[in-house]
Amino acid sequence: MGEVVHFKTDSLRSLVAGLGDPMRDKLAGSYYGLQILTDEQLFNAFRSTWLGKKIITIPAMDSVRKGRDWQAEAAQIELIEAEEKRLGFWQKLYEVQVKARLWGGAAIYIGTGDADPSQPLDPERIGKGGIKYLTVLSRREIIAGQIDQDALSETYGKPKEYQVSGANTMATIHPSRLAVFVGSAHADPLLVSGPNHGWGDSVLDSVYGAMRNADATAGNIASLVFEANVDIFRIPDFTASLAEPAYEQALLNRFALAATAKGVNRALILDKDEEYDRKQITFATLPDVMKTFLDMVAGAADIPVTRLVGTAPAGLGSNGDHSMKNYHDRIGSMQSMEITPAIYRLDECLIRSALGSRPAKVFYTWAPLEQMSEKEEAEIGKMHAETAEILNRAGLFTPDELRTVVANQLVETSFYPGLDQAIANTGDNWEEELGGGEEEEPDNDPVIAEE
């Protein structure tokens, strides 16, 4: 057997510094542990802490507060919006997101009145008024079934079915009848067991440590307020005199009298050998400490601290536009990548329930969260008008083509409400309406001056 050769990959610097030594390096004994809050802890965090409530509700509210802009005929848009109002669509969409973020998962049940909800829901079979109601169910009220492991299945990686308990029965619901939302999605659903099986984790699980540190810091700062001014009395032979039982009562009477005299005439009477001093606690750096912990909470929740706390941006030249723009981009990503796919089948049923059919040209876009001022809108409209004027003078497009393009632009941006209906009423007679009939040709005959 050959000789075994050992190699040392460490360096003298690490040996001297003690890196990796649990006795000298604190980092060597640290590791990440999984801390999942119980339902009771989640409920208490949401109900009793302002940070927990805001972290749950702010993104949910911001994602739905501006609604969406339907692109369709005016009459069709009115019917769709009326159907949304009848079903309480926006209230249900906000509620399901709050419950999904808090509990880890929730769903909207599409109630169509079918006798057997375990069968797939075909949106093409939905007629006018086909959606009877919408019901929000959290993961505490609906149980996810077995995870589908068939890679060729539409529901791969998701539950094959769901179970919901009624008053006396247990009903099975097909996934196509639910708009499913998860809080914090799992990397591998097969590794999750317990009440979060088939769902996600609460968003509070990952921010709980930062929340607790911020609340603890605020609590300690509040305690310091009561000790901002501490009176100190130095009494000769104080410790030795405590051995006498009558001394304690005499001491209390002595300083009660001193406090009374100070309260009446603002003067403190002391013995010649006694000393009085006052210690004051400074709070100069505590706001920065508190702000640091709140910044950590805001970073963990992915919400700007100005939006989370509700304060104005601080600092020279800081207006918070950059952080809010990033936050609005994040909400826009959540709308397009999470909400839209989750409610796709619900939207298909909603359109048919409102219109009785599914026109191909009916679609929507999420309304932007950033609203421009009237001045900014006017400046953009002026730039569009100047661009159209330049193109018209250049003669690259016919007046009809340019009119159609400019009108579509103004309609889609809602710059002139009702412009599409006005154009439809005018029709092809717009040149006559504008007095743009045939112009008389100018008389180019030379004028002969009379002699």
pLDDT of the residue at 437 = 47
pLDDT of the residue at 45 = 93
Long-range contacts of 397-403 (CB under 8 A, 24+ apart): 399/431, 403/430
Euclidean distance between CA atoms 110 and 64, whole angstroms: 19
pLDDT of the residue at 4 = 64
Euclidean distance between CA atoms 312 and 308, whole angstroms: 11
Stronger pLDDT, 120 or 236, i.e. the higher one? 120
pLDDT of the residue at 314 = 59
- Mean pLDDT for the chain? 82
Q: Which domain holds residue 62?
A: 39-207
pLDDT of the residue at 11 = 55
Euclidean distance between CA atoms 413 and 73, whole angstroms: 15
Domain limit, last residue, from 159, 186, 207: 207
Q: Answer whether 294's CB lies under 8 Å from 214's CB.
A: yes
Q: Which of 81-85, 199-203, 306-310, 375-379 bottoms out in mean pLDDT, i.e. has the lowest?
A: 375-379
Which of 289, 347, 291, 276 has its CA nearest to residue 123? 347
Which of 32, 65, 56 has its CA nearest to residue 138? 56
The answer as to whether 248 is a domain residue is no
The answer as to whether 382 is a domain residue is yes
How big is the CA angle at 373 (ends 369 and 377), to the nearest 5 degrees? 100
pLDDT of the residue at 180 = 96
Proportion of the chain above pLDDT 70, given as a percent: 78
pLDDT of the residue at 333 = 93
Domain limit, last residue, from 160, 188, 207: 207
pLDDT tens figures, 240-268: 777 777 877 887 787 787 777 776 666 66
The dihedrals phi and psi of 386, each to the nearest 5 degrees, come to -65, -40
Most confident among 232-241, 412-421, 441-450 (mean pLDDT):
232-241
The answer as to whether 184 is a domain residue is yes
Average pLDDT over residues 149-165: 89
Q: Answer whether 143's CB lies under 8 Å from 159's CB.
A: no
pTM value? 0.74
Written as six digits, the tokens of 137 are 């169910």
Q: Answer whether 108's CB lies under 8 Å from 179's CB.
A: yes
Average pLDDT over residues 409-422: 71
- Mapping DSSP to helix (H, G, I), strand (E, B) and coil, where does residue 391 land? helix
Which of 129, 200, 137, 133 has its CA nearest to residue 171? 137
The answer as to whether 175 is a domain residue is yes
pLDDT of the residue at 20 = 61
Written as six digits, the tokens of 70 are 């339907």
Euclidean distance between CA atoms 172 and 142, whole angstroms: 10
Question: Is residue 265 packed enough to be buried (19+ CB in 10 Å), middle (13-18) or exposed (0-12)?
Answer: exposed
Helix 89-103 / helix 50-62 crossing angle, nearest 10 deg = 140
pLDDT of the residue at 169 = 75
The answer as to whether 280 is a domain residue is no
Residue with tokens 């604190």: 26
Helix 39-48 / helix 204-225 crossing angle, nearest 10 deg = 50
pLDDT tens figures, 262-318: 766 666 666 667 776 776 777 788 888 899 999 999 999 999 998 998 876 655 445
Stronger pLDDT, 196 or 422, i.e. the higher one? 196
Average pLDDT over residues 70-93: 94
Most confident among 84-88, 220-224, 231-235 (mean pLDDT):
84-88
pLDDT tens figures, 367-412: 888 766 677 778 888 888 888 888 888 888 888 888 888 877 777 6
Euclidean distance between CA atoms 139 and 23, whole angstroms: 45
Count how many domains the chain has: 2
Written as six digits, the tokens of 247 are 């001394």
Q: Which of 16-20, 53-57, 250-254 bottoms out in mean pLDDT, i.e. has the lowest?
A: 16-20
Which of 104, 107, 96 has its CA nearest to residue 183? 104
pLDDT of the residue at 285 = 83
Residue with tokens 């075909």: 122
The answer as to whether 53 is a domain residue is yes
Beta bridge partners of 275: 234
pLDDT of residue 5 exceeding 70, the answer is: no
Contacts of 131 (CB under 8 A, 6+ apart): 83, 87, 110, 111, 112, 349, 350, 353
pLDDT of the residue at 409 = 76
**Residue 99: which pLDDT band, with cuts at 50, 70 and 90?**
very high
pLDDT of the residue at 445 = 54
Q: Answer whether 301's CB lies under 8 Å from 203's CB.
A: yes
Most confident among 224-228, 314-318, 334-338, 429-433 (mean pLDDT):
334-338
Helix 50-62 / helix 204-225 crossing angle, nearest 10 deg = 130
Domain limit, last residue, from 157, 182, 207: 207
The answer as to whether 125 is a domain residue is yes
pLDDT of the residue at 427 = 65
Contacts of 253 (CB under 8 A, 6+ apart): none
Question: What order of strands is seen across the sheet that includes strand 170-173?
Answer: 142-144, 162-165, 170-173
443: left (phi over 0), alpha (psi -120 to 50) or beta: beta
Residues in the chain: 451
The answer as to whether 92 is a domain residue is yes
pLDDT of residue 230 exceeding 80, the answer is: no
